[in-house]
């Protein structure tokens, strides 16, 4: 039986050659579980539901290595823990409660035949520390201070909504110049919602484009063929590339396939890093996970993993880790459950404040949008 907590990976899960990106089309009334928001999975990708059973033939033998704070590049075993409290390095920055007031974010029916109240479709931090939230239920872009105080809102116009009423933008990013960008998938093209002034406008990308990260200037993602693509948010121009770029300008590529994640940093690391996932409670049990990726201004990569064991014996697993520019792998840090009944289904938990190497994690919980920061 499929439970509501894992619905985001079932509507439109996409695991590209650059990582796992679940691309559900959240909105005020359209969510990842509805037939209206289904996305075709590229033939070159592998879908790995976060809590579904994975066939035994995909199991990979795990080398007898362990994760350390200064693990060298090469094969590293990652003991993926069950969800719990946030690790010691994380601080809760604020909680945006739900409600009808301007300084609250909205919820709307959706999922399980409309029985769930879904929250906003996540948000992103700007260079000045403020936050932009895709407040889908209220059809607006809501602006909050670094500490979570309401500043202003930009309402979307009817011609920016699907059928004049549905907010279907997701995967928000704020670039180094302060431009907020979110995207809406299409079968042959995609639409960007761009806020680079006081009013938002639409930009067309002439291919299906799933945004995964950004380098501060360009959006990084992949198309329906699984090709790596960079997109200029201001013009919509899309270019097939061989590598993504960190915010420091160095090249990288992350490939997630079941229980193995391969990280390449050709400009700084001598060899690729191969992460083998196991269950922290029993390292003899293989774990499977999707991954969200972002980078810091120093060239570090941040990975947020969430998944399960084969057969769901370990329940929901999740953790955060850092890979240095030289390929050193940090110890994995536990996190709270990334899914709640109010989660709209987008893989947008992880981000980095532009111009820094300070990551954050965002969770759409049942009592509001909760943000944790880490220095």
Mean pLDDT (whole number) for 121-147: 98
As a whole number of angstroms, the distance between CA 170 and CA 25 comes to 7
Give the per-residue pLDDT at 228. Answer: 96
372 backbone dihedrals φ, ψ, rounded to 5°: -120, 140
CA distances to 131, 138, 191, 239 from 99, rounded to whole Å, are: 18, 10, 29, 41
Any idea which residue has 């999707």 for tokens?
290
Give the per-residue pLDDT at 35. Answer: 28
Q: Which is more confidently placed, 175 or 312?
A: 175
Mean pLDDT (whole number) for 49-75: 41
Mean pLDDT (whole number) for 19-48: 31
Alpha-carbon torsion, ordered 217, 218, 221, 227, to 10 deg: -140
Question: pLDDT at residue 52 above 50?
Answer: no
Counting residues of the chain whose pLDDT is more than 70, the rounded percentage is: 79
Domain-wise residue ranges, the chain: 4-373
Nearest to 131 by CA among 141, 121, 145: 145
Fold classified for 4-373: Neuraminidase (2.120.10)
Asked whether 79 and 357 are in contact (CB, 8 A), the reply is: no
Q: Which is more confidently placed, 210 or 5?
A: 210
pLDDT band at 113; cut points 50, 70, 90? low
Give the per-residue pLDDT at 74. Answer: 84
Give the per-residue pLDDT at 270. Answer: 86
As a whole number of angstroms, the distance between CA 251 and CA 14 comes to 22
As a whole number of angstroms, the distance between CA 92 and CA 306 comes to 20
As a whole number of angstroms, the distance between CA 229 and CA 180 comes to 19
Tens of pLDDT, residues 9-24:
322 333 333 333 333 3
| pTM as predicted | 0.82
Tens of pLDDT, residues 273-331:
999 999 999 999 999 999 999 999 999 999 999 999 987 678 999 999 999 999 999 99
Nearest to 240 by CA among 265, 258, 254, 221: 221
């Amino acid at each position: 039986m499929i439970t509501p907590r894992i619905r985001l990976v079932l509507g439109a899960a996409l695991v590209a050659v650059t990582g796992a990106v679940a691309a559900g089309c959240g909105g005020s009334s359209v969510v990842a579980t509805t037939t209206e928001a289904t996305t075709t999975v590229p033939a070159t990708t592998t879908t790995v539901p976060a809590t579904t059973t994975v066939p035994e033939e995909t199991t990979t033998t795990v080398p007898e290595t362990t994760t350390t704070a200064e693990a060298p590049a090469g094969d590293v075993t990652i003991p993926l823990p069950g969800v719990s409290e946030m690790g010691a390095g994380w601080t809760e920055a604020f909680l945006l409660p739900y409600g009808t007031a301007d300084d609250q974010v909205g919820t709307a029916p959706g999922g399980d035949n409309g029985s769930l109240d879904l929250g906003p479709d996540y948000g992103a931090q700007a260079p000045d520390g403020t936050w932009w939230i895709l407040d889908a239920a209220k059809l607006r872009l809501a602006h909050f201070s670094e500490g979570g105080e309401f500043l202003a809102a930009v309402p979307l116009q009817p011609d920016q909504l699907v059928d004049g009423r549905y907010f279907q933008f997701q995967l928000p990013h704020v670039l180094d110049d302060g431009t907020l960008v979110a995207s809406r998938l299409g079968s042959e093209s995609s639409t960007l919602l761009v806020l680079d002034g006081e009013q938002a406008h639409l930009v067309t990308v002439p291919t299906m484009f799933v945004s995964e990260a950004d380098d501060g200037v360009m959006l990084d993602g992949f198309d329906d063929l699984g090709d790596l693509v960079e997109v200029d948010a201001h013009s919509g121009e899309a270019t097939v590339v061989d590598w993504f770029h960190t915010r420091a300008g160095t090249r990288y590529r992350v490939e997630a396939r079941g229980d193995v994640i391969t990280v390449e940093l050709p400009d700084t690391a001598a060899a690729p890093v191969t992460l083998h996932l196991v269950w922290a409670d029993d390292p003899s049990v293989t774990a499977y996970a999707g991954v969200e990726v972002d980078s810091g201004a120093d060239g570090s990569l941040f990975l947020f993993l969430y998944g399960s064991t084969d057969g769901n014996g370990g329940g929901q697993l999740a953790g955060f880790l850092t890979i240095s520019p030289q390929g050193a792998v940090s110890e994995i840090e536990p996190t709270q459950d990334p899914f709640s009944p109010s989660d709209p289904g987008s893989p947008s938990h992880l981000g980095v404040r532009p111009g820094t190497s300070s990551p954050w994690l965002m969770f759409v919980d049942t009592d509001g949008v909760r943000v944790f920061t880490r220095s």
